[in-house]
Amino acid sequence: MTQAYDAYSQQLETRKSITKGGVQFWRARDIQILLGYERWENFDGAIQRARMACEVSGQPANHHFLETKKMITLGKGAEREVRDHFLTRYACYLIAMNADPSKPEVGHAQTYFAMQTRAKEISDRKALTAERVEMRDRLRDANQDLARAARAAGVTRFGIFQNEGYKGLYGGRGLKQIKEKKGLLPEDDLIDRMGRAELAANAFRATQADEQIRTRTIVGEQNAFKEHHRVGKEVREAIRRVGGTMPEELATEPSLKRLTAAESKA
C-alpha cells in the first residue's frame, strides 16, 4: 500500500467508534469529509444510493444507516442542528462504492472498507470453526463416558450400541443410512462433518444416555441397546416439540480436520 493510503486509513481508524457490543461505526459527517465531498447535499445522494443497494441485498437498511442529528458551529460561534447518520462498516463500504469514483479519497475508502469486511469475514469464520471444534470435542468426551457406562452394563458390541442411539435420534437410521442421506462417503467421519446444531443434539443424546444407564442401573447388553435407542428417540421428540430441524435434514459442514489444518498453515 502507498503512504497516501496508509495516511488515509489512519484517518478512518481515528474516526471509528465501537459500541459496547463490539460493532464498529462512523458518523456520516466525518465520512463526507474523508470522501472529499464539500456539500452535504451531494454526499447525501451517495448515502441514498447506498441505502437502496443495502435493501436490494436483503439487509435491513435501518440497521446499517441510523439517522441522527449533530450540532455544528457556524460563524461567530453560532450553532445549528444538522442531519447525520451512524454508519456501520457495511454502510460505509456501500457508500464508498456509490460515491464519485473520480475522487482519489473514494478509491482509498473502497480499498479500506473492502479489506475490513474481508478481515471480519475471516475472523467470523475462524470463530465458528473454533466453536464447532469445542462442540465436537465435547461430543467425543461424552461418547467416551457413554462407552464406559455401556461397558459396565455389559455391552461388548459397541458399534451396534452406538447405532441404536443414532436410530433413535435419526428416525430409524443407523450410521450407514445417515451418511447416505447426507451424501457422505462410507469412509467420511460423520462427527467431523456435523454442524453446531447436530453436534449439540448428539452431545445431549450421549450425556443423557450415559446418565440414564448409570442412574437406572441398566444391566445387560440388550437392555443397554434399548435404553440408548429410547434416549435418542426422546431427544428427537424434544427437537420436534420446539420446531427444530430433524438431524438427518441438517446440512453437512466442511470437514473440521481440513479447516483446522488450513487455518494452522495460514
Q: What is the pLDDT of residue 123?
A: 84
Question: What is the average pLDDT score of the chain?
Answer: 92
Dist. CA 17–CA 105, nearest whole Å: 20
Is 219 within 8 Å of 225 (Cβ atoms)? no
Q: C-alpha cell of 17?
A: 467508534
| Strand arrangement of the beta sheet that strand 79-88 belongs to | 17-18, 24-27, 79-88, 65-73
Dist. CA 233–CA 240, nearest whole Å: 10
Instruction: Answer whether residue 31 shows pLDDT above 80.
Output: yes
pLDDT tens readout for residues 98-133:
999 999 899 999 999 988 888 888 888 888 899 999
pLDDT tens readout for residues 211-239:
999 999 999 999 999 999 999 999 999 99
What mean pLDDT do residues 4-15 have? 90
Dist. CA 203–CA 208, nearest whole Å: 8
Q: What is the pLDDT of residue 21?
A: 84
Q: What predicted TM-score, i.e. pTM, was given to this entire model? A: 0.65
Is 242 within 8 Å of 257 (Cβ atoms)? no
C-alpha triplet 159, 160, 162: angle, nearest 5°:
65
Backbone phi, psi, residue 255, to 5°? -55, 125
What mean pLDDT do residues 42-61 have? 94
